[in-house]
Amino acid sequence: MRVAEAVAGVLAAHGVSCLFGVLGDGNLPIVDVLVREHGADYVPAAREDGAVLMADGYARAGGRLGVATVTHGPALTNAVTALTEAARARTPLVLVAADTPPGDLRNPQAIDQEDVVRPTGAGVQWAHSAESAAADAVRAVRRAFTERRPIVLNVPTPLLEREAGDLPGTFREDPAPAPPPRPEEAARVTELLGRAERPVIVAGRGALHARDELVALGARTGALLATTLKAKGLFTGEPFDIGVCGGFATTPGRELIRKSDLLLAVGASLNSFTLDGGRMLAANPVIVHNDVRPEAFETPADLRVLGDAGALAAMLADTAEPRTGWRTDDVAKRLGEYVYGSEYPDGGDETGLDLHTVVAALERMVPRERTVVVEGGHAALSEPSRGLSVPDPRGFVFPVHFGSIGLGLASAIGAATARPERVTLAVTGDGALMMNLAELDTAVRRGLRLVVVVLNDGAFGYEYHNMLHRGMDTGLSLIPRPGFAAVAEAFGARAATVRTPAELDGLRELIADPPGPVLVDARLTRAVRTRWFAEHENGLDPADPDFRPRYR
């Protein structure tokens, strides 16, 4: 058995049935064996960063190991931004990368690949020898799961045709249950809840397994249910779900959280994004912070409780005094009547649509069983994150951990591949889409149920509004774009361009159940800024009567 066969065999033995990549002479022997002998589904990407982003989106939406493959040298350097994003998102992912022969300094693609990978935050697992290659591949899979980050399996090309050692046993992720909190600490939380009249529970990714226990605790204590952005959708369907806590909170969610007298954060780091720079603590609430990781306790809190979120919630539900708290008819009515986009009048004009109107229309028209992928930038980040609901946390993919734009489309392709039963909605900007437009060809070849909505303001939007706010000439930020609908149709996708609310409403049939990729080029007015920008750049408070997202 050759090393190429051994590495492919290890991946297949670990349940890898789909991988994303760009072929080169160094990795094609492994891909060939995976596809030909093990029946893996190989998704060829246009670029290497796209392949890694697809594997990342696949892992986030599907809840399983993401696998990508590239050849050596420039193929790996092309993937650096994507690797950094996946590492900061703590995505379990294996990138199988070929490497040039050691000592071949005249090879134009030779580079110290470990030095390239290290700054991204990903790990490197070398295939040290032909005899150890299979065991090294198992180590890469194990490390991806246990370290919760991408691991680059670096395979020097001279090893590929050599005789490999025996295949080792497979790694199976079987994490030990987290310890429960100490009873005396739970008793202290019970005491604090007994005094609270307006409690809010904020659940993060570390509490995804504890949904039922947290719902029961909220019902007993009268607490509202909120999440961090990364746990968005955890409480979907609950009548007292107020959505995301932080800068992307809904209007009622923000107002209620800011009036709370106790914040119980479970499995959440309580960083500045979740607390919106402290704005969520306007009423100076008691803060109880629970996590299984001591390093998560970075923010000052009145009480810190180390232990499993589900165990803590169950202990509290058994001992807390039943209270009405926030769960009144008035609050239920307000939450039930809230509709995103109703806060402000439509700000569209002869130049284009109000981005809030576009997001509100997508919320109405795209089926609720969906995966939403957002993008960095002025228009495609905050309002889609705020206004688009998802059925569960895996229905929300947020490839913005590195602060980059241009990662959304490829991430959406991976997510759509992982969850083909759902419509995947990718919301991007015109500048971001230009950075990875070639991957639209990948989506078309795959026939994915993917709706790509381009919030197109003909500019780098954040820079435009930033320059305008600073009194600078905005001309540098204005970049005319091609007709994205025509480009998409040239790729083989269905497409439409919309400039008015009436044209937007006419998209319902096109995007409700797409048979394949659909692109919508939504032309925006630049006269409207997002609430997030107005608040953070201008220092305005949404409670201020002078606050408006539209320039006046």
What's the rounded Cα separation, in Å, for the pair 550 and 374? Answer: 22
**What residue ranges do the domains of the chain occupy?**
3-159, 183-337, 355-547
| 415-454: pLDDT as tens digits | 999 999 999 999 999 999 999 999 999 999 999 999 999 9
Q: By three-state DSSP, how is residue 125 classified?
A: strand
- The secondary structure element, H or E, covering residue 491 is helix 484-491
Contact between residue 83 and residue 52 where contact means Cβ atoms under 8 Å apart: yes
* The predicted structure's pLDDT at residue 103: 78
Written as one string, the DSSP assignment of 369-402 is SEEEE--SSTTTSHHHHHH---SSGGGEE---TT
The two structure tokens encoding residue 311: 């165990």
* The predicted structure's pLDDT at residue 536: 67
Owner of token pair 């409690």? 199
* The predicted structure's pLDDT at residue 540: 52
Q: Which residues pair with 288 in a beta bridge?
A: 264, 303
Q: H helices within 222-378, ranges in order?
A: 251-258, 309-319, 329-337, 355-365
The strands making up 262-266's β-sheet, listed across from edge to edge, are: 241-244, 224-227, 199-203, 262-266, 286-291, 303-306
What's the rounded Cα separation, in Å, for the pair 363 and 365? Answer: 6
* Strand 93-99 versus strand 123-126 pairing type: unpaired
pLDDT exceeds 60 at position 550? no
Q: How many helices (H) and strands (E) does the chain have?
A: 22, 18
Instruction: Provide the CATH number for the domain formed by 183-337 in this structure.
Output: 3.40.50.1220
On whether the pTM is more than 0.75, the answer is yes
* The predicted structure's pLDDT at residue 545: 44
Architecture in CATH for domain 355-547 = 3-Layer(aba) Sandwich (3.40)
Q: What 8-state DSSP symbol labels residue 86?
A: H
The two structure tokens encoding residue 500: 């008015």
pLDDT exceeds 90 at position 537? no
What's the rounded Cα separation, in Å, for the pair 96 and 413? Answer: 20
The two structure tokens encoding residue 398: 């947020």
- Rounded to 5 degrees, φ, ψ at 400 are -130, 20
The two structure tokens encoding residue 543: 């409670």
| 381-402: pLDDT as tens digits | 999 999 999 999 999 999 999 9
Model confidence at 176, pLDDT cuts 50, 70, 90, reads: confident
Written as one string, the DSSP assignment of 126-163 is E---TTTHHHHHHHHHHHHHHTTSEEEEEEEGGGTTSB
The two structure tokens encoding residue 533: 């920008």
What's the rounded Cα separation, in Å, for the pair 12 and 163? Answer: 19
* The predicted structure's pLDDT at residue 174: 72
Work out the average pLDDT over 22-43: 97
Instruction: For residue 451, give the nearest of 535, 388, 404 by alpha carbon.
Output: 388
What's the rounded Cα separation, in Å, for the pair 2 and 158? Answer: 11
Owner of token pair 């202290």? 188
Instruction: For residue 411, give the nearest of 69, 16, 82 by alpha carbon.
Output: 82
* Strand 41-44 versus strand 450-456 pairing type: unpaired
The two structure tokens encoding residue 510: 């096109």
* The predicted structure's pLDDT at residue 171: 82
Q: Which residues pair with 163 in a beta bridge?
A: 2
What's the rounded Cα separation, in Å, for the pair 461 and 433? Answer: 13
Query: In the chain, helix, strand, coil percent, each to 5?
Result: 40, 20, 40
Q: H helices within 158-207, ranges in order?
A: 183-195
Backbone Cα Rg of the chain: 25
pLDDT exceeds 60 at position 145? yes
| 218-257: pLDDT as tens digits | 999 999 999 999 999 999 999 999 999 999 999 999 999 9
CATH superfamily of this structure's domain 3-159: Thiamin diphosphate (ThDP)-binding fold, Pyr/PP domains (3.40.50.970)
Owner of token pair 């947020």? 398
pLDDT exceeds 60 at position 411? yes
What's the rounded Cα separation, in Å, for the pair 307 and 207? Answer: 11
What's the rounded Cα separation, in Å, for the pair 508 and 504? Answer: 8
Same CATH fold assignment for domains 3-159 and 183-337: yes
